[in-house]
Amino acid sequence: MIGTRPIEELLFHMKTIARQASSEWEANFARSVLRQAKKPTWNPSEKQLWTMQRMVSDLFSLNGVNADADIDLIDTGDRHDAA
């Protein structure tokens, strides 16, 4: 499931996606959204919003790991291993 982020946060990350997109389509989409967002009355369509959410979620996923998946960040190994 894709998390819901505020539009302002999505627009902030669209700048990174426009520069580092994995496809030309994604880069063009991000640039297009950024141009449209300059209009004071602009609001994304449902499809645009869903696409933006997916792209930002993908930006933060590591090697195909779902960004919403639980990730164990605490090392539970033997404390002496680090020495």
| Close Cβ partners of 82 (under 8 Å, ≥ 6 residues apart) | none
Q: Could you give the CA distance from residue 54 to residue 50 in angstroms, rounded to a whole number?
A: 6
pLDDT of residue 1: 42
Contact 12, 30 (CB under 8 A): no
Q: Could you give the CA distance from residue 29 to residue 7 in angstroms, rounded to a whole number?
A: 15
Q: At 56, list the tokens.
A: 């930002």
pLDDT of residue 76: 63
pLDDT surpassing 90 at residue 50: yes
Q: Is 49 or 21 the better-scoring residue by pLDDT?
A: 49
Other C-beta atoms closer than 10 Å to the C-beta of 55 total: 21
pTM for this model (two decimals)? 0.68
pLDDT surpassing 50 at residue 53: yes
pLDDT surpassing 90 at residue 48: yes
Q: Give the position of tokens 């996606």.
A: 17
